[in-house]
Structure 1
Amino acid sequence: MTGSPEENGLFTASTHGDLDVADVTGFDAWARVWAELGVVRVSRETYEELIRHYCEPHRAYHNLQHLKECLQVRRFINAACRASAEIDLALWFHDAIYDPLRSDNELRSAQWLDDVARDSGLDDETRHRLYNLIMVTRHDGAPASTDEAVLVDTDLAILGASFERFEEYDQQIRREYQFVPLPVYRQKRRQVLEGFLARERIYTTAAYFDAFEQQARANLVRAIDRLD
């Protein structure tokens, strides 16, 4: 792939929800990731359950669109990492459990993946890395490994999307938190966005920094200004 992520079909607004996600989120893609980890017999039942979770009606952003974008941008950027299949599998599960009323979504998602990984025969060290990959998406600490940095940067790539896609994302987040009174939401959202903007670097890895840092900062400034 050449050109920007937007030019290559990444981060395109899809307000009608008619996404063609089969290319990266179909069962064949799911099976390939497991095969790369040495698991030949994969669970279609687990795959279908996972997809049902991403299709839950309360999800406006943390849905199949987000999963598709993460998997696509990880491959597009192709940042140096140790185990790309582990990153991809963690991406499949990183928002497997999502309830905006709870604060333990990452923990429950990591536990689900750990159960599936154990039943699939993955060793303890691999399972431990997978668990940590999901837990780092809490974005409350620095990544402890290159793979964790790649996964976090992938999850945050939406901040560096086109203005149009970022605007859609911002509206999607508001819909997920529509139960929060607007003044409170504006205050909390401002804290989150300003937290990212205050970082010396939003993206840890050089590849993601080069691709998204400048656009992300412009998007954040615009979004914070709108909250005023």
Structure 2
Amino acid sequence: MAILIDPPAWPAHGTLWSHLISDAGYDELHAFARRLGLPRRSFDLDHYDVPASLYEAAVAQSARPVTAKDVVHALRGSGLRVRQAERETVAPLRRRQYLRAEWSGLGALVGIGRTRQAENDWHRLGEHLLTRWNEPHRSYHDERHLEDVLLALDHLATRGERLSPATLLAAWFHDAVYTGAAGDDAGSDELASAHLAAGSLAALSIDAALTSQVGEFIVATTPAREVRDPAAPLAHLLDADLSIFASSPHRYQQYSLAVRAEYAHVADPDFAAGRSRILSGYLQQPAIYRTATAQQLWERRARENVSAEFEGLLQVVTAEGAGSGVRRAAEAE
């Protein structure tokens, strides 16, 4: 078994990147990446993208320097290569593997008993949550969002943030109930998710204080809810929940279209007006993110993405206002 890395030669985000692979299996690769301090979101189905700044460290930790061709040949020879045509099929499988592994690890972290019954109960709860996250009416608030939140928390951890079990549990439950309620019912999904967490965790004899904290964290994720000076565990969750704002332009467009799809029943002008008010609230804050680490990682790109969407929505609102004026003038005649 060997970990291989090619020279940093692929330009992106102002630096050059290498490919880090294993010629034997992904478990070995993930373990090496953790030791190197790479966030899990650097994993791209069959390899990790490694910035040039970490190339020498990877080699120092026993990664074998090879050529780019050697990397491709090794992936092919091991059967681990994911071809471009396979990516769309493989991505959701990798996502589900990651989520199940994270849930299993979380069980150990919160002290789930080692009896077969306790392990089975924890497993069933995880599968139940994944079923909820994959309900057919969801477009954005699905298991990809759950994965994004967990990956963002992992990214914060690689930068030295200490994650609380309450934060991780709240991440799993925070949109477990999702109906897309708005208006007078806004916040009902978060309350229902908190209620689900309380009942589910109590049934597994999870510490009552921890369970209560999880519920409080979930309610705090209600959009536009004012949360002043949260302690680090809640700040981590709030920052991770909004990490999508700092995604690539392509991923951000996917996100904004998915949000629109969840409100397909709302007319364009009304959606644009409501959505622009929410985004404006974030832009008016001194910082979108609560922790210094998240601000360093995501603030600039998040403001660029949110500002661009806000400007587009504002054009819809302005056009509708002008159109309404024309219609009123015509009716007056």
Fold conserved between structures, TM > 0.5: yes
2:128 paired residue number? 49
Q: Quick check: 1:63 aligned with 2:149?
A: no
Greater strand content: 2
Q: Deviations over 1:102-155 (max 9, x none)?
A: 530011101111111111112221111111111111141225321000000000
* Aligned ranges 1:109-120 → 2 under 5 Å: 109-120=193-204
Kindly indicate whether residue 226 of structure 2 is the aligned counterpart of residue 141 of structure 1.
Answer: yes
1:58 corresponds to which letter in structure 2? H
- Could you tell me which of 82, 107, 128 is aligned with 2:212? 128
Task: Flag the 1:167–1:4 CA change in 2: closer, same or farther, 3 A.
Answer: farther
When residues 72 and 23 of structure 1 are mapped into structure 2, their CA distance, relative to the original with a 3 A threshold, is farther
Output aligned runs, 1:83-122, within 5 Å: 83-101=163-181, 102-103=185-186, 104-122=188-206
| Relative contact order higher in (CA < 8 Å, ≥ 6 apart) | 1
**What is the RMSD computed on CA atoms of the aligned residues?**
2.4
Larger Rg: 2
| Structure 1 contact 60–172 (Cα < 8 Å) conserved | yes
The secondary structure found in structure 2 opposite 1:21 is helix
Question: Which letter does structure 1 place at the counterpart of 2:226?
Answer: G
Secondary structure at 2:310 match in 1: helix
How far 1:82 moved relative to its partner? 5.8
Change (3 A) 1:203 1:5: farther
Letter matched to residue 128 of structure 2: E
Once the two structures are TM-superposed, the CA of residue 203 in structure 1 deviates from its matched residue by: 0.3
Runs (4+) of structure 1 exceeding 3 A deviation are 1-10, 79-83
* 1:4-25 alpha-carbon deviations (Å, 9 max, x no partner): 9975559xxxxx6852313431
In 2, Cα distance between equivalents of 1:180 and 1:170: 15
SS at match of 1:46: helix
Q: CA deviation at 1:46?
A: 2.0
The answer as to 2:273 corresponding to 1:187 is: yes
One-letter amino acid of the structure 1 residue matched with residue 150 of structure 2: L
Residue identity in the other structure for 2:172: W
Structure 2 unaligned spans of 5+: 1-32, 46-87, 316-333
1:21 matches 2:95? yes
Using the size of structure 1 for normalisation, the TM-score is: 0.89
Q: Which letter maps to 2:143? A: L
Deviates more, 1:119-128 or 1:209-218: 119-128
Aligned: 1:33 with 2:113: no
Q: Which whole-Å CA distance do the structure 1 matches of 2:39 and 2:200 have between them?
A: 35
Q: In 1, Cα distance between the equivalents of 2:298 and 2:40?
A: 9
Give the count of matched residue pairs. 223
After superposition, give the CA deviation of every residue in 1:179-213 in whole Å (9 maximum; x if it has no partner): 00111001001101111111111001011100000
Closer, same or farther: CA 7–24 of 1 in aligned 2, 3 Å: closer
**C-alpha displacement at 1:83, in angstroms?**
4.8
Deviation at 1:32, TM superposition (A): 1.6
The gaps in structure 1 that reach 5 residues or longer are: 11-15
Q: Percent identity?
A: 27
Distance 2:208 2:42 in 1: 41
Structure 2 contact 40–154 (Cα < 8 Å) conserved: no
Is the Cα contact below 8 Å between 1:24 and 1:72 reproduced in 2? no
CA spacing shift, 1:116–1:4, aligned 2, 3 Å: closer
